[in-house]
Amino acid sequence: MFDDTKMWKLQVYAERAWRLSMDIAIESAKLPQNGGGLAVVADETRCIANKLYMKLEQIKDGRIINDDFSNILEQLNLLILNGLIELIRLNECVSKNWDGISVSIILDEIRMLVCDLMELFKYKKIEPIEAVELSCYSSVTDMRLFLLQARIGGNVFVENIRYIQQIIRFTSNDKTIFDFKDNTINLKGIKVPVVDLYNQFRLTKTSFAANSSTNYALIVNTDWDQPNKLFAVLVDDIMSISIFKTKFGVSSPCRSAVFYPEFIRECWDADNDQQMLFVDWRNI
């Protein structure tokens, strides 16, 4: 049910989303040569703000009878992750005069907006996958790297952010993106083969929204010599993916009971007898 307080808060959150889209657009304009990715994040944030305004008008007119905002929450979380991927990329390729702090603050504000919307509509809070601590660090280098941690059928794996171009969402019946016959995804005219470990290992996908038909895929490139050799890796719910920074680990034998050793390119031992698994997408 929607009372006046709930509708007032929804309007405040819609206005907040609109303001954040403007803030990101301003940061994108500061980088005329490299700000294209941030411009996309700004446009999509503005679209979500419009969706919130439309929902509010539908509620006022009595045209909406439920308060299912899970789709918008998933879109916002997707924006945060793609924004972080773009921010990390920009920090590596843009001059030292740009530190990205403003963008980082904006993305954190979007994350807070997701939390506020989840609380407003009484969604069960979905915690990101807890980043594990390495039990043994490399003695060769003291450098740090950003890793994305996600799940496939509830099984956790990690991937270097450098190898991830973006995260996309699509439905299986969206023929403009997903080609069921070829099992490929159309990414700006490039046919990207889908890596579906759910079918290969008979795993079950977990989802934030009940009966969701939305799929998520990491667009991964693990071959620097062939930048267009991409893979679309299907993953579990977007709401549990996390990005964290860590030192390099030390390779060790794989102990996974799900992924076969020949499909793992590297394993790092972590605390509590856990492992960070880097999947070899090319072999799969």
pLDDT for 167 equals 94
10-residue stretch averages of pLDDT, the chain, 284 residues long: 83 95 92 85 94 87 69 89 90 70 91 89 65 80 89 90 91 83 88 90 77 84 71 88 90 81 87 87 79
- Going by their DSSP bridges, the two strands 190-195 and 178-179 should be labelled as unpaired
Are the C-beta atoms of residues 187 and 231 closer than 8 Å to each other?
Answer: no
Distance CA 138, CA 126 (A): 33
What local confidence, expressed as pLDDT, does residue 1 receive? Answer: 60
Cα 87 to Cα 250: distance, rounded to the nearest angstrom = 27
Phi, psi of 199 (to 5 degrees): -75, -40
What's residue 33's pLDDT?
79
Q: What is the pLDDT of residue 208?
A: 66
Question: What are phi and psi for residue 180, nearest 5 degrees?
Answer: -65, -35
Among 79, 83, 23, 11, residue whose Cα is nearest residue 238:
79
Buried b (16+ CB within 10 A) or exposed e, 104-136: eebbeebbebbeebbebbebeeeeebeebebbe
Token pair listed for 42: 């700004």
pTM of the model: 0.87
Give the pairing of strands 231-235 and 190-195. Answer: parallel
Total Cβ atoms within 10 A of residue 15: 13
Rounded Cα distance, 196 and 162, in Å: 22
